[in-house]
Amino acid sequence: AIDPQFTENREQVDEHNGHSVWGPVDEPEELGIHGTHVAVDFDICLADGACVEDCPVDVFEWIDTPGHPESEEKADPANEAQCIDCMLCVDVCPVDAIDVDAG
């Protein structure tokens, strides 16, 4: 599962689609965590798609990640600022790849 303390345990190494990327990143096999308020661990995501389908405000957008061992698509939190903290995505992800800091 995604580490809920990732902002303390990882370093911000990049930006993507207006959000932070938390390393380590070693493309294409290791992609890190995308987003901060809505964070998706790309190294855990296996492209189930429940988050993309169920988010009521369309926070997630598919991006292609060719060569990643888990899946060649990831749910990118492209619109994390729109999140209304419903926690649905956290509940539906089968591999607990998502952390939402509703704090």
- Which among 13, 59, 62 has a CA at the least distance from the CA of 33? 13
**Closer residue to ligand F3S (CB): 14 or 72:** 72
**CB of residue 63 to Zn ion, shortest distance in Å:** 7
**CB of residue 42 to Zn ion, shortest distance in Å:** 8
Are 99 and 4 contacting, i.e. CB atoms less than 8 angstroms apart? Answer: yes
Are 67 and 99 contacting, i.e. CB atoms less than 8 angstroms apart? Answer: no
> Which listed option, Zn ion, ligand SF4, ligand F3S, none, makes contact with residue 34 (CB within 5 to 8 Å by class)?
Zn ion
Which residues in 35-64 contact ligand F3S (CB under 6 A)? 40, 45-52
Quick note: the x/- pattern for ligand SF4 over 48-87, rule CB under 6 A, is -------xxx-x-----------------------xxxxx
Q: Contact between 45 and ligand SF4 (CB under 6 A)?
A: no
Which residues in this chain contact ligand SF4 in the complex, by CB under 6 A? 38, 55-57, 59, 83-89, 100
